[in-house]
A = this chain, B = another copy of it.
């Protein structure tokens, strides 16, 4: 029973199979492989974006940082939620790749940016001209870091504010598929049609080994992106193994099926906890992450029986007489089973 993170689980057999298949041939290096040509076509097709530039890297931090660096100047701002992964969990990678752009932290429930918070922050930027950092870009995470999914209307509203100020918008889509499955819209609807210019399209958390696509709907700075990727050490020589993962991921709806599976497991888990005595939910379970609380004794029972997950937002001692409610983050992945969930729920309920 592993609920620590989506990245604790295995890769899908289809992904592994594609790796093996890619291994049978000699190939051009550095992204000139034929599998990449197929991947590019698929992504353009799926996103209804025939001119989009498409690149692969092996980590989400690289995808986000390279995307943002191609969108802002060093003396500009990146507006994001206070709990955004780019702010809290990347050890300053965006600042490194942008050579010091400033993240301006916004508020909002469930790690969703409140539109008024964005408007206010933009209005406050650059009031004294050259003395201030200047307006740069907006970055939105969908799924958010607290498991919520913005509706299409919500992201349209945020993008509209940004675009009205001539700011490009970046999507941190580390859990893109989970959000898409929840929304039931098209990939275009939740990206460029809503106002996004650049997307980090995650694969790693959803059953791949390690691959993320960066999609530039505005290809004007595509060559710059390629140079930044190389300069960051993120151009894989045997790139075909990235391509192969993404190719399989996008074949026969594998990506959507895996996300649907992990979302449904999370929902089942979430519902179960809500129905447990003392169980509470901290955030809506829109995707594959559950933020919930239950009795300390239930945590003890679960962890003593081999359940892996993190108390949230901070670790707490499980021992002690006080049977208060402790909160946790539980993440499902494509391989999470009904048995896993049922077993955890039964332990919690003890």
Contacts and interface: CB of A to CB of B under 8 A. Distances in A.
Interface of A: 2, 4-5, 7-11, 16, 19-20, 23-30, 57-63, 65-66, 73-75, 88-93, 95-103, 105, 127-128, 130-134, 204-205, 209-210, 224, 226-238, 241, 308, 314
Contacts of A314: 127
A139 to B, nearest CB: 15
Nearest to A1: B26
Given A58-B58, A59-B233, A238 B210 contact: yes
B60 A231 contact: no
Contacts of A101: 92, 95
Contacts of A209: 19, 238, 241
B92 A26 contact: no
8 nearest A-B pairs in the assembled complex, by CB-CB distance: A62-B233, A95-B100, A61-B233, A7-B237, A2-B26, A91-B230, A91-B231, A99-B99
Contacts of A96: 74, 99-100, 231-232
Contacts of A236: 58-59, 210
B91 A75 contact: yes
A235 B59 contact: yes
A285 to B, nearest CB: 22
Nearest to A75: B227
Contacts of A128: 89
A7 B130 contact: no
A127 B313 CA distance: 10
B23 A8 contact: no
Contacts of A308: 26
Given A8-B26, A8-B29, A130-B227, 4 more contacts: A5-B237, A10-B23, A91-B230, A232-B232
Contacts of A58: 58, 210, 236
Max chain B Cβ within 10 angstroms of own Cβ: one of A5, A91, A308: A91
A205 B61 CA distance: 25
A106 to B, nearest CB: 13
B23 A231 contact: no
Nearest to A224: B73
Max chain B Cβ within 10 angstroms of own Cβ: one of A19, A23, A238: A238
A35 to B, nearest CB: 14
Given A75-B91, A235-B61, A10 B29 contact: no
Nearest to A61: B233
6 contacts: A8-B26, A10-B24, A30-B130, A59-B233, A74-B231, A232-B233
A59 B234 contact: yes
A232 B234 CA distance: 9
Nearest to A59: B233
A317 B37 CA distance: 27
B28 A8 contact: yes
A241 to B, nearest CB: 5
B227 A91 contact: yes
Contacts of A131: 30, 88-91, 230
Contacts of A241: 11, 209-210
Max chain B Cβ within 10 angstroms of own Cβ: one of A16, A98, A234: A234
